[in-house]
Structure 1
C-alpha cells in the first residue's frame, strides 16, 4: 500500500507509529495541522511534553519520570486517570450496538433513571450529549421552548463553553468579541449580586438565568454565603428558569455530590459533563423536571426537536453508570470535603508566611491560588507598562511552569483569570501527594517575591518571548 496519499504531503501515520512519535515530531504535527500558535504558547513553558502512561493521579513521560496531575482535566478526572472499573465497563459493552437510532438504548434509559436518583429535588428527565458546551446549548434551547421567552441573564466572569450559544452566555469579552454578533437578548450582571439579578428579571421577560455555583474559569470564585438560595427565590418570583452549570463542580468535586446542594437549592435545569464519563468517555447531560420537559417537548411533533447522533451512545453511558456507582460506593464527595479541608488549611498557612501567595479560595478539591501582582516600580516604567501587562496575563502560567518543570506537578491557570492557578486533582488523590504539592509550593513561594523573580527562575528567555508577542 502506498502510504503517501496526497502529493506534497507527508506519509500516513498508523496508530503504533503515532504512539511512538518523538516530542519534536509531535510538535511538528500540531504546528502544521492543528494550531501553530498554540504550539508556540505551550512550548514557552515546556507544556508540550509527551506523556505515555496515566493511572490515578499520576502521569509518566517517555523517560518514565512520574508527574502528579493537579489539573485533573479541568475537573474531568474526579476518578483519576484510567480507572480500571470504568475501562472494564466500556469493555463490557463492546458487543452492544454503540450507535443505533432506530431503537431505545437500554443503557441510556438506565443511566437516566440512576441520574434522577442522584440529582436533587424533582429533576427527572435527562438529555445526553458529548460535552459541557452541548449540555449548555440544550439547556438554553429548553428554556426558550418551555417559557416562550427569549432573553437570558448570565454573569460577568462566567464560562459556559465556546460553541455559539454557550459562548453567548460566557462572560469574558476576549472569547466573545471575535465571533460577534452572538445570540441577541443576553445581558450580564456581577457574579454574587442578588440585587442585580432581581433588577434584571423585573420585567418578567427572561427565559433563564444561568450560573455556576463556583466560577471555575473566572478564577475559582466562591459567591457570598446564601447567594444561590437568594437566586432560587428571585427566579421563582419572576417565573424565570434557573440553569445551574455544574459541568466543573459536579460529581463530588466541591465536597457535595452537586455544589448547589451546599445552599440546599434545586435548579430547574442542571448541566453536567466533564467527570460524568469517568475520565474515559466523553459524556454530558442536562436534566430537568417533568413539567419543564413536557412544556418544551411534550408531543410527538416536538419529540425530535433536539437530538444528538452520538449522545447517549452505549460506551459513554456504560462509563456513566459505572461512574455514579463508584462515586456513591466510595463516598468520594466526603473524601473531597476532607482532603479539601486539609489542603486549604495548609495553603492558608503558606499564605500567611509568603506575601507572594495573595489569596487561597475554593471549596473541596476545587481551589484557586492567586499570586501578588508586581508593584508599579522602575522596571515597569522603563518598559512602558509592559511588565505590569505581562504579569497580569502570565504570572499564573509561570508558577504553573515552575511546578511542572522543577517539581513535576501539572497545574494550569484559569481561562478568565490567568493570574490564578487551579488545583483540581482527582478526588482519589492521596494525602502524601497533597503534601508533595504543598512542599513544592512552599519552595516556590519562599524563593519568589513576584513577577521578576519568576522570570529569572524560569530558566528560559520567557520575558523576551512574551514581549515579542505582546
Structure 2
C-alpha cells in the first residue's frame, strides 16, 4: 500500500473540513457558495437521533428532519452500517448495469404500494427529478393521445427544475424564468365543480397533485376530491399522478398517503417519492402502477447516471426495513396524536392539521418566522415556517414520547418568550 493510500484510509471529514466557530464558517460560506438560499441559519456539524449540534457546540431538537428527509433521524446505526458496507463493496456502476440492491428496493416498493402485476419503478436522485420523470411520462401520453392540457393545483409545490416548476403554482418561483412548459392549468384545491368543468372538453392528458400540500402549510386534499380525480382520469384516459415526495414512506402513518383514501381506491397511475426514502441519502423514485403506466417511457427516452445506484438503493432498502420492523408506522400515529393534543392546548395555536408526523400549525397574535427564530436561538428548537402564520413540523418517524414532550415544552417557552418580547416592545413604543 502506498503512502497516499494509507493516508486516505485514515482521513475523516473532520480532517478535510476542520471545525471552526460558526461566524468564521458562515463568512466562508458567503465567500464561496451561491446565494440561492440566503444566509444559512446555523452551521451544523453533528447529529444523533432527533438532535443536532452546531459548530459552537449548541444542541437543538430537530423537528423539521431536513424537511421530512431524515425519516430515521441523524446517524441511525442501520443506515450508517449499510452505507459503509455497501461503499466498501460497490458504490456506483452507472445505468448501464444493475445491482441486487436496486432490484430488491424496486420489488419492496411495489410490494408496499400493493402495486398490480406489470408495475415498475424508475429511480432518480430527488423529488424534483422523480416529478420530471412523471411529467415526461404525461407529456408522452399527451403527444400520443392528442390531449393538450395538464392539470395541477393552486398551492402546489413539485420542485424547482424546469418541468417540476411548470407544475408549481407559486408565482414567485415561476415568474423570474419566463415561459415554462405550456398547457398547464391550475385549479382550486377541493373544488370538485371546477375539476369536472376542466374535464368537460375531454382535453386533459394528466392531473398531478400532492395528497397533502406540504409547502402550502400541510393542507390536505379531500378524499372525495382525490376519488373524483381518479374517476375522471379513468373515464377519459387521462393519467393521475400523485406527488408523495413529502407524504410517502410512512410520514403520515401509512406507507403512502393514497392508501388511507377509501382503502387505496385513489391508487394513481404514477406516484413520485423521495425525501424520507433514503433517510438523508439522495434518492427519488417514480412508481408506475400497472403495465400501461410503467411503459410510457421506453428505452432511451429517459435516464439518469446516478439514480438507483447501489448506495442509494441500499439506503432506501435499509430505511424501509427499519420502518417495517421497528413498528414505526404505529409510532408515527401515536406520537403525531400526542403532539397534536399538546399543540391544541396552546392558546396562540388556532388550528392543527396533523397526519401522522406531517403537521401544520396555524398561529394567532405572533408571526411564524419570528417564532422560528426565537425557538432556534433561545430554546434549541428547529421548526419551519411556511407562511406568516403557519408552521410545518416533520420530525423523524422514530421520535420518542419524551422528545415529543420536550418539543412541546420548548415551543411553549418560545411562544411565551416571543409574546413577552412583543409586549415589551409595544409598551416601549406607547411610552415613547
Asked whether 1:132 is paired with 2:127, we answer: yes
* Maintained 8 Å contact 1:398/1:455: no
Query: In structure 1, what is the Cα distance between the partners aligned to 2:92 and 2:35?
Result: 35
Query: In structure 2, what is the Cα distance between the partners aligned to 1:37 and 1:326?
Result: 35
* Maintained 8 Å contact 1:31/1:37: no
What secondary structure does 1:311 align onto?
A: coil
Cα separation, partners in 2 of 1:120 and 1:31, compared to 1, 3 Å: same
Cα separation, partners in 2 of 1:359 and 1:97, compared to 1, 3 Å: closer
TM-score by length of 1: 0.81
Asked whether 1:403 is paired with 2:375, we answer: yes
Cα separation, partners in 2 of 1:170 and 1:294, compared to 1, 3 Å: closer
What secondary structure does 1:59 align onto?
A: strand
Asked whether 1:326 is paired with 2:327, we answer: no
Aligned to 1:28: 27
Aligned to 2:422: 453
What secondary structure does 2:389 align onto?
A: strand
Tell me which moved more, 119-128 or 78-87.
119-128
Asked whether 1:106 is paired with 2:100, we answer: yes
In structure 1, list runs of 5 or more residues that go unmatched. Answer: 1-13, 375-394, 458-470
Aligned to 2:52: 59
Aligned to 1:81: 74
> What displacement does 1:410 show?
0.5
* Maintained 8 Å contact 1:145/1:295: no
Aligned to 1:366: 358
Aligned to 1:91: 84
Offset from partner CA, 1:157-215 (integer Å, 9 cap, x none): 11000000000000111101101211100000111222222211222222211111111
What secondary structure does 1:427 align onto?
A: coil
Query: In structure 2, what is the Cα distance between the partners aligned to 1:359 and 1:312?
Result: 40
Alignment map for 1:97-176 (pairs within 5 Å): 97-122=91-116, 124-147=119-142, 148=144, 149-176=147-174
Offset from partner CA, 1:226-258 (integer Å, 9 cap, x none): 332222222222221110011001111111111
Cα separation, partners in 2 of 1:409 and 1:166, compared to 1, 3 Å: same
What secondary structure does 1:229 align onto?
A: helix
* Maintained 8 Å contact 1:129/1:312: yes
Offset from partner CA, 1:318-376 (integer Å, 9 cap, x none): 111111111111121111111111111121122xxx2x3232213111111122268xx
Query: In structure 2, what is the Cα distance between the partners aligned to 1:423 and 1:441?
Result: 12
Query: In structure 2, what is the Cα distance between the partners aligned to 1:442 and 1:418?
Result: 18
Aligned to 1:267: 268
Cα separation, partners in 2 of 1:318 and 1:372, compared to 1, 3 Å: same
Offset from partner CA, 1:89-146 (integer Å, 9 cap, x none): 1122222251244323232112111111011342721100100000000001112223
Aligned to 2:286: 286
* Maintained 8 Å contact 1:371/1:396: yes
In structure 2, list runs of 5 or more residues that go unmatched. Answer: 1-12, 427-432
Query: In structure 1, what is the Cα distance between the partners aligned to 2:91 and 2:184?
Result: 41
What secondary structure does 1:422 align onto?
A: strand
Query: In structure 2, what is the Cα distance between the partners aligned to 1:93 and 1:219?
Result: 37
Match of 1:316 among 302, 312, 317: 312
Asked whether 1:412 is paired with 2:384, we answer: yes
Query: In structure 1, what is the Cα distance between the partners aligned to 2:200 and 2:423?
Result: 48
Query: In structure 2, what is the Cα distance between the partners aligned to 1:454 and 1:131?
Result: 44
Query: In structure 2, what is the Cα distance between the partners aligned to 1:145 and 1:103?
Result: 25
What secondary structure does 2:350 align onto?
A: strand
* Maintained 8 Å contact 1:27/1:39: no
Match of 1:423 among 388, 393, 418: 393
Q: Number of paired residues? A: 406
Query: In structure 1, what is the Cα distance between the partners aligned to 2:293 and 2:37?
Result: 41
* Maintained 8 Å contact 1:131/1:283: yes
What secondary structure does 2:359 align onto?
A: strand
> What displacement does 1:454 show?
8.2
Query: In structure 1, what is the Cα distance between the partners aligned to 2:37 and 2:256?
Result: 33
Query: In structure 2, what is the Cα distance between the partners aligned to 1:346 and 1:38?
Result: 32
> What displacement does 1:18 show?
2.0
TM-score by length of 2: 0.88
* Maintained 8 Å contact 2:22/2:54: no
Cα separation, partners in 2 of 1:316 and 1:150, compared to 1, 3 Å: farther
